[in-house]
Amino acid sequence: METVIKQIATAMVCVVTIFLAQSPAQTPVSAPDSVGKAWISRAEAATKKLASPGLDKCDKGVEVAFQHSIESASGKQRSFDLQIEIDGQTMVSYYSYAGQRLTAFVLVELPPGWLAVQNADSKTLNILVEGSNCTFDVCTSDPFATGPCTEKRTR
């Protein structure tokens, strides 16, 4: 089973890599749009947060990932890749946009022993990191949420 999961993850990485490699390179825009500005702002917030005491391994891994997010673009499609490293293991994910609209969160690679849990009525993905004594949340609908998503309660 673990081999099958690794093969699927490897295939997904290959497909994304091939897609991005075939995309024409986009030159950096001198004045970023609102999405680009939001990612720059999140990177700056990560730098400030990393300078403060009291962060556990997971908090540090998430903040470093946002500090060093990688933008890939092709036409109006673009993504911001996050590589969250904790204890030498790396989770790879990205947020995808069409123009200014967030279209997807993609979990590309989850290290062995890590567990991703999402309640059916939630947009928060909780990552349990085996052997590190920490967990972290990823808001799949809002990359700038620090921690779980703000959930709308229905009655």
User: pLDDT of 98-133, one tens digit each?
Assistant: 999 999 999 999 999 999 999 999 999 999 999 889
The count of structural domains within the chain is: 1
Tell me which residue range forms the domain holding 12.
Answer: 2-19+33-139
In-domain check, residue 149: no
Task: Note the pLDDT of residue 23.
Answer: 41
Per-residue pLDDT, averaged over 42-59, amounts to: 94
Flag the least confident range among 31-35, 57-61, 79-83, 130-134. Answer: 31-35
Task: Note the pLDDT of residue 9.
Answer: 44
CB 138 within 8 Å of CB 144: no
In-domain check, residue 153: no
In-domain check, residue 145: no
Residue 15 above 90 pLDDT? no
Per-residue pLDDT, averaged over 15-22, amounts to: 40
Task: Note the pLDDT of residue 4.
Answer: 44
Per-residue pLDDT, averaged over 23-43, amounts to: 71
Nearest Cα residue to 136 out of 79, 65, 39, 69:
65
In-domain check, residue 150: no
> Rounded CA gap, 27 and 34, in Å?
17
Other CB atoms within 10 A of residue 132 CB: 17
List alpha helices for 23-133, DSSP H.
Answer: 34-50, 57-67
The pTM of the full predicted model, rounded to 2 decimals, is: 0.76
Higher pLDDT, 73 or 17: 73
- Identify the band that residue 150 occupies on the pLDDT scale cut at 50, 70 and 90: confident
Structure tokens at 10: 């490897």
